[in-house]
Amino acid sequence: MSTIFKRIIDGEIEADIVYEDDLCLAFRDVNPQAPVHILVIPKKEIRSIADLTLEDQSLAGHLLLVVSKIAVELELDSGYRVVANTGVDGGQSVDHLHLHLMGGRQHEWPPG
């Protein structure tokens, strides 16, 4: 399983990176669906939320904390949406776990 996101992690493909640490990487979505649209991904190759194991417990929590930290840094003070499309029915198109952080506009509910 080598995805486009793995190639971004490995520096083979450029991305507009907004945050990086030992465990994860965050960069702007190439096809933004909101004024702010960031993808937060683990450096570990995990296909989706459905593939997380107990071993990934702290990593999964870390990803959420990074989302929160980036939202503060980007001054998304009035809120934002976090989405993890999972599997075929979830509309996942890249098989490397990622959290979409979208802000800068009012989001509707339910989503499509």
Q: Which residues contact ligand 5GP by CB under 6 A?
A: 4, 13, 15, 27-31, 39, 85, 91-94
Collect all residues with Cβ–Cβ distance below 8 Å to 14 and sequence separation of at least 6: 8
Q: Which residues are catalytic?
A: 98
Q: What is the nearest approach in angstroms of ligand 5GP to the Cβ of residue 103? A: 15
SS3 assignment, position 15: coil
Measured from the CB atom, the residue of 29 and 51 that comes closer to ligand 5GP is: 29
Q: How far apart are CA 24 and CA 69, in angstroms?
A: 13
Q: What is the nearest approach in angstroms of ligand 5GP to the Cβ of residue 3? A: 9
Measured from the CB atom, the residue of 15 and 67 that comes closer to ligand 5GP is: 15
For the beta carbon of residue 21, count every other beta carbon within 10 angstroms. 11
